[in-house]
Amino acid sequence: MKQRIFSGIQPSGNLHIGNYGGAMKQWVQLQESFDALFCIVDLHAITVAQDPEMLRKRTLEIAKMYLAAGIDPKKSALFVQSHVREHTELAWILNTLTRNGDLTKMTQFKDKSGLDFENIESWGTKENLQQWKKEFNAVGVGLFDYPVLMAADILLYDTAVVPVGDDQVQHVELARTLARRFNARFGETFVVPESKVRREGARIMGLDNPLKKMSKSAASEFNFIALLDEPEKGRKKIMKAVTDSGSEVVYEDEKPALKNLLNIFSLLEDIPVDDIARSFVGKGYADLKRALSDSVANFLTRFQHNYFALSDEETLRVMKAGADRARTIASEKMKIVRERMGFLS
């Protein structure tokens, strides 16, 4: 029996090759050895204001991106969170087991809201306290409650392993706490999940500034290569990328721009960086850039070939089939939960 994994991704737009190197590529690899459920978390997305038309568009877009990257619906269930109502139902029940203190300590809430409850003393003076109260009153309850919905996502499926970035480990920790709390109070019901932190070995940095992460909101579009950039444009962006001083192709921290180009090469070609660096011994930066720009153009061509072959209807059909599979598991679990909670059946 394969171990069950569950992971989620927010439907955000304009993904770039840095995003491909993160969750996307990892999921494609994980589906080979795990019983995988992958969820596009539109219910989490609405914890900050969303334009309905944009949300619909982005949800479909991200589904196509993951399919284009190699998520195989025969191997894993790829689905949209709001299609499986059990997520919201379990989130409500888990709310009643969650304490305010479980949530005020969440780093992501502190970052997003700017409210550090652990450190109220530092707010000091009266004006500060007034300001604090104003900010607190303005922050949405959904943002505060975000980790409880995430716990519900995970616990519904007897998830053993949760692949996440390191910023999400604390949230998985809450899922573990709530599983234990529920089990202690109502009887053994939920599997206590483990998080599996993505290796951040090869973070992809900006092409115009290799000291900062590649970002779609960077000032210049020459910072990033979007997955839907024209292949020729991707090629151009590599040719224009900044390089370090010197001319020898080496992989070392003192050459951050070069290191980044080699990391991108390694990501797209699935070859270890050392092997790539070795193949450029005796050659220079220009050779590396030429070869990498070919690799980028080929990658974008392949990716977009898959992406544009998917119609909206076909994609929706795949999402619905994924949701059906997920719901079969989730609804069985909710039957047990309802009965343990004392709800009339």
Contact 144, 42 (CB under 8 A): no
Local structure of 241: helix, strand or coil:
coil
Q: Indicate which single residue of 28, 91, 93, 164 sits in contact with ligand TRP (rule: CB under 6 A).
A: 164
Tokens representing 301 are 């061509």
DSSP letter at 203?
P
The least CB distance from residue 85 to ligand TRP, in Å, is 16
188 — phi, psi (to 5°)? -50, 110
Q: Indicate which single residue of 5, 28, 30, 41 sits in contact with ligand TRP (rule: CB under 6 A).
A: 41
CB atoms within 10 A of CB 165: 13
Contact 175, 155 (CB under 8 A): yes
27 binds ligand TRP (CB under 6 A): no
Pairwise CA distance, residues 263 & 214, whole Å = 12
**Nearest residue (CB) to ligand TRP, 111 versus 135:** 111
Contact 207, 225 (CB under 8 A): yes
Contact 136, 153 (CB under 8 A): no
Binding mask 50-89 for ligand TRP (x = CB under 6 A): ----------------------------------------
Q: Indicate which single residue of 168, 209, 260, 315 sits in contact with ligand TRP (rule: CB under 6 A).
A: 168
Contact 238, 292 (CB under 8 A): yes
CB atoms within 10 A of CB 51: 9
145 binds ligand TRP (CB under 6 A): no
**Nearest residue (CB) to ligand TRP, 9 versus 292:** 9
**Nearest residue (CB) to ligand TRP, 9 versus 67:** 9
Residue type, 16: H
257 binds ligand TRP (CB under 6 A): no
Contact 8, 40 (CB under 8 A): yes
Q: Indicate which single residue of 44, 64, 235, 237 sits in contact with ligand TRP (rule: CB under 6 A).
A: 44
Those residues whose C-beta lies under 8 Å from the C-beta of residue 140, and which sit 6 or more positions away, are 47, 48
Look up 283 and say whether it is catalytic: no
Task: For strands 35-40 and 4-9, give the pairing.
Answer: parallel
150 binds ligand TRP (CB under 6 A): yes
Pairwise CA distance, residues 75 & 31, whole Å = 6
Binding mask 191-220 for ligand TRP (x = CB under 6 A): ------------------------------
The least CB distance from residue 171 to ligand TRP, in Å, is 6
**Nearest residue (CB) to ligand TRP, 8 versus 206:** 8
The least CB distance from residue 108 to ligand TRP, in Å, is 8
Look up 237 and say whether it is catalytic: no
Of 4-12, 202-210, 256-264, 306-314, the window that binds ligand TRP (rule: CB under 6 A) is 4-12
Of 111-119, 162-170, 283-291, 327-335, the window that binds ligand TRP (rule: CB under 6 A) is 162-170
Footprint on this chain of ligand TRP (rule: CB under 6 A): 6-8, 10, 41, 44, 150, 153-154, 162, 164, 168
